[in-house]
Amino acid sequence: MIKDTLKKLIFREKSDSNAYIHFLRKKGVKIGEGCTIFYPRGTNIDYQNPQMLTIGNYVRIADGVRILTHDYSLSVLAHVKGDIVGSVKPVTIQDNVFIGMNAIILAGVTVGRNVIIGAGSIVTKDCEDNSVYAGNPARKICTLEELYNKRKKKEIEDAKRVAIQYYDRVGLLPDEAVLREYLMLFSDRKMKIPNELDKLMLDTGEYKKTKKFFYNVTPQFENLDDFLRSCNINIETENR
């Protein structure tokens, strides 16, 4: 409680995600429901022209992101021409978007629905729906469907790598917290949804859909122990 109070006193509107979103809304930025700004103190969202910025529902913004609705290049033109020429342009980020760490969204850009922006990307042009963008300047690297299929194809391999590297480095059997992103693979559908998976489902903003998927799809392993055996981890000789 004291720590949270001090954080609010020191960092004020950037003390946490809710405080920063509330601050931006008060300034006039339109922000939808279920949004998260993971590290407000490292994030810079331009509210000089708040009416020019619209952020939809379930937009997740990582540390170091910059979103701009203008720049100050007019100062250079003013020195040369004596004229003041503005450069304010709208930015629209539609529903269900993830903006990766240190990405920059420049003025005049519309990011469509169901879009992933890779870390470090500089977005200079519109991003179409259901797509993944990365690079400088950001370009479309695949569709969302292609990304899903690629990750599903390697999901078991990736999960095993996490489990084995944890076991080798820490010397303990990986539990549900360590394997939280892979619990769909081996959680018993007859049991209560594991807490770590339940929290992930809630965080996505699609709890009903993910819960329905969980119960409608047969896991690829009987349980956690079965999965760990497939990783050649001898669970019988280890204590959890």
Q: The dihedral of CA 230, 147, 99, 213: what is its sign?
A: negative
Phi, psi of 55 (to 5 degrees): -120, 125
DSSP, res 119: T
Instruction: Examine the residue annotation and report whether 79 is marked as an active-site residue of this protein.
Output: yes
Q: Which of 110, 92, 97 is nearest to 30 (CA)?
A: 92
| 79, 152, 190, 208: the active-site residue | 79
Separation of alpha carbons 49 and 43, rounded Å: 17
Q: Which stretches of 121-169 are assigned E, i.e. beta strand?
A: 122-123, 131-134, 139-143
Q: Which long-range contacts (CB under 8 A, 24 or more apart) does 160-169 make?
A: 160/230, 160/231, 163/227, 163/228, 163/231, 163/233, 164/231, 164/232, 164/233, 167/231, 167/233
Element (H, E) at 213: helix 207-216
**Active-site positions?**
79
